[in-house]
Structure 1
Amino acid sequence: MPIRHDRFGHPVTTATSATVEAIDRFTLEVLSHGKEAGALLAAAEADPDCGLLQAYAGALYLFLQTAEGMDKAAPYLTRARTVVSTASERERLTVAALDAWGTGEPERALDLHRRIALAWPRDLLNLKLAQIHQLNRGDRAGMRALAEAALPHGREYSYAWGMLAFALEQAGALDAAEDAGRRAVGMNRDDPWAQHAVAHVLEARRDPDGGLAFLGPLSGTWDRCSSFMYTHNWWHAALFRLDLDDAAAALALFDARVWGVRKTYVQDQVNAVSLLSRLELRGVDVGSRWADVAVHVGPRINDRQNAFLDLHYLYALARAGEDDAAAEMLAGMRAHAVIASPASRVIWSEIAIPAASGLAAHARGRCAEAASALGSVLPRMFLLGGSTAQQTWFEQLYQDSRRQLESAPTLWPGICA
Structure 2
Amino acid sequence: MQDILGNAITVQTAQDLQAVNDFIEGFLGYNQCIITVLATAETSQNGLVHIYAGLLWMLSETGDIPQAAQQHAQKAKAATGLNAREQLLLQTLTLWLQSDMAGVRQTLQTLLSQWPGDLVALKIHQYDDFNNGRFLEMLRITELCHSAAASNTHFQGMRAFAFEQCHLFDHAEEAARQALALDPQEAWAQHALAHIMLTQGRIEEGVSFLSAHTQEWGRLTSFLYTHLWWHKALFHISLGQQPVALAIYDEHCWARDRTFSQDQAGAVSLLLRLELTGVDIGNRWEDLSAYLVPRQHDVAQPFLTLHYLYGLLRARKPEGDVLLTAIRGAAAQKKSTLHAAWREVGAALAEALAAHAQERYDAVLPLLDPVMGRIGQIGGSHAQRDLFEQVALDAMLRTGKNSRAQQILETRRLTTPYDVPTNKALAALYEQSGLNALAQEARDRLLRTI
Same fold by TM-score greater than 0.5: yes
Taking the aligned partners of 1:342 and 1:29, their CA distance within structure 2 comes to 31
User: Contact (CA 8 Å) 2:298, 2:323: kept in 1 or not?
Assistant: no
Is the 8 Å Cα contact of residues 55 and 99 (structure 1) preserved in structure 2?
no
1:74 matched to 2:77? The reply is no
Structure 2 spans left out of the alignment, 5+ residues:
403-424, 426-450
1:327-346 map, 5 Å: 327-339=321-333, 341=335, 343-346=337-340
Name the CA distance, whole Å, in 1 between partners of 2:240 and 2:90: 48
Aligned partner of residue 258 in structure 2, secondary structure = coil
Where does residue 36 of structure 1 map in the other structure?
A: 33
One-letter amino acid of the counterpart of residue 392, structure 1: D
Aligned match for 2:180, one of 181, 185, 206:
185
Determine whether 1:132 maps to 2:127. yes
2:400 pairs, out of 406, 410, 414, with 406
Pairwise mapping of residues 131-280 of structure 1 onto structure 2 (< 5 A)? 131-280=126-275
Instruction: Name the CA distance, whole Å, in 2 between partners of 1:368 and 1:277.
Output: 19
Greater Rg over alpha carbons, structure: 2
Distance 2:256 2:359 in 1: 30
Q: Does the CA contact (< 8 Å) of 1:351 and 1:380 recur in 2?
A: yes
Q: What amino acid does structure 2 have at the position aligned with 1:356?
A: A
- Aligned to 2:384, which of 379, 387, 390? 390
Equivalent in 18, 21, 24 of residue 18 of structure 2 = 21
Give yes or no for the alignment of 1:61 onto 2:57.
Answer: yes
| 1:414 aligned partner | none
Identical positions, percent: 33
AA at the equivalent of 2:79: V
How many corresponding residue pairs? 403
Q: Letter of the 2:342 partner, please give it.
A: W
Task: Give the Cα separation in 1 of the matches to 2:42 and 2:68.
Answer: 14
> Which secondary structure state, in structure 1, belongs to the residue aligned with residue 22 of structure 2?
helix
Partner of 1:360: 354
Identify the match of residue 283 of structure 2 among 279, 284, 288: 288
The letter of the residue matching 1:271 is G
1:111 Cα deviation from its structure 2 partner: 2.5
CA contact (8 A) 2:330 2:338 kept: no
Whole-angstrom distance in 2 between the partners of 1:357 and 1:143? 30
User: How many angstroms apart in 2 are the aligned matches of 1:233 and 1:250?
Assistant: 12
Partner Cα separation in structure 2 for residue 281 and residue 40 of structure 1: 42
CA displacement at 1:342 relative to structure 2: 5.0
Deviations 1:101-152 (A, max 9, x none): 2332333222222222222111111111111111101111010111233122
Q: Distance in 1 between matches of 2:26 and 2:167?
A: 28
Partners in 2 of 1:113 and 1:149 — Cα distance?
11
CA distance in structure 2 between the aligned counterparts of 1:296 and 1:69, rounded to whole angstroms: 20
C-alpha distance in structure 1 between counterparts of 2:194 and 2:52, whole Å: 30
* Residue of structure 1 equivalent to 2:438: none
- Deviation readout 1:383-406 (Å, 9 max, x if unpaired): 111111111111111221122111
Distance 1:66 1:225 in 2: 20
Aligned-pair distance for 1:69? 6.2
Instruction: State the 1:337 CA deviation.
Output: 2.6
Q: Once the 2 structures are TM-superposed, how far is the Cα of residue 288 of structure 1 from its aligned partner?
A: 0.5
- Counterpart Cα distance in 2 of 1:55 and 1:5: 16
Aligned-pair CA distance for 1:379: 1.2
- 1:25, 1:304 → 2: CA distance? 31
Unaligned stretches of 5+ residues in structure 1: 412-417
| Structure 2: distance between partners of 1:383 and 1:55 | 30
- Is the Cα–Cα contact under 8 Å of residues 65 and 97 in structure 2 kept in the other structure? no
- 2:430 corresponds in structure 1 to none
Cα separation, 1, equivalents of 2:399 and 2:96: 43
Partner of 2:95: 100
**Aligned equivalents of 2:335, 2:13: Cα separation in 1:** 40
Counterpart secondary structure, 2:332: helix
CA distance in 1, matches of 2:364, 2:102: 31
Whole-Å Cα distance in 1 between the matches of residues 178 and 256 of structure 2? 30
Residue deviations 1:150-180 (CA, integer Å, cap 9, x gap): 1221122110110000000001100110111
Distance 2:359 2:106 in 1: 42
* Runs of 4+, deviation exceeding 6 Å: none
* Equivalent residues of 1:122, 1:150 under 8 A apart: yes
The 3-state SS of whatever aligns with 1:390 is helix
The CA distance in 1 between the partners of 2:70 and 2:281, in whole Å, is: 40
Alpha-carbon deviations, 1:245-269, whole Å to 9, x = none?
Answer: 1111111111111112111111100
Once the two structures are superposed, what CA deviation does each residue of 1:269-299 show, in whole Å capped at 9, x if it has no partner?
Answer: 0110000000011011111100111100110
Separation in 2, partners of 1:192, 1:200: 12
Alpha-carbon distance between aligned partners in 2 of 1:347 and 1:73, rounded to the nearest angstrom = 26
In the superposition, the TM-score normalised over structure 2's length comes to: 0.86
Paired amino acid for 2:36: A
